[in-house]
Amino acid sequence: MQVSLSGKRFLLPLIFMLILALPACRSQRETSRTPTATTTDAAFYHEFSQKLGYPLNGTENPALIREVSSWLGTPHRYGGTTRQGTDCSGFVIEVFKKVYQTSLPRSSSDMASHARNISKSQLREGDLVFFRTSGGRKVSHVGIYLSNNKFVHVSSTRGVMISDLYEPYFVRTFAKAGRIR
């Protein structure tokens, strides 16, 4: 290949090299936008699938999964907001503060008023699910939707735990779903 700054001999090879380089640049950008699972990712999702008790698909938010997992088993304490004891809204407030840097109202009914209504079919990770567990019309319980119909919440008898939206109790008491972000 001859390189000459004054003539067509330089221009043709330059154009040819640019044409060859363009697809490589495009595929590199596409690859960086499409994350692929690494061994570390696979180990992470396997470990947290075990902790949470249901299979993760590898697209979940690692910060949310870690935070939720660190609360599992925390006992229920009315008005609590710590790992020594928490209620449902205190738990949701602390998780949202840590994972999403978002402040929420203190009560589950106020959270329900604050959230944008969505249908169950629109639920995605990090959305809130609200229940009427006290028998009245007012929302009295809140949890955070994870995936695969699973949500994390605080049971008054079992503490922070994972449940399924389609368990009969939650089907019966479901009030609405809401999105904060």
**Given the residues 25, 46, 76, 88, the one annotated as active site:** 88
Per DSSP, helices labelled H in 53-107 are 62-71, 88-100
Active-site residue among 25, 46, 114, 153?
153
| Alpha-carbon separation of residue 101 from 1, 28, 105, 160, 178 (angstroms) | 58, 32, 14, 21, 18
Tokens of 8: 């067509």
Active site residue 88: yes
Q: How far apart are CA 115 and CA 144, in angstroms?
A: 12
The Cα–Cα gap between 27 and 64 comes to 31
- Tokens representing 67 are 């935070």
Check if 141 is active-site: yes
- Are 87 and 77 contacting, i.e. CB atoms less than 8 angstroms apart? yes
What is the DSSP code (8-state) at residue 76?
B
Residue 143: DSSP 8-state:
E
Known catalytic residue: 25?
no
**Rounded distance between C-alpha atoms, residue 53 and residue 76, angstroms:** 20
| Active site (catalytic) residues | 88, 141, 153
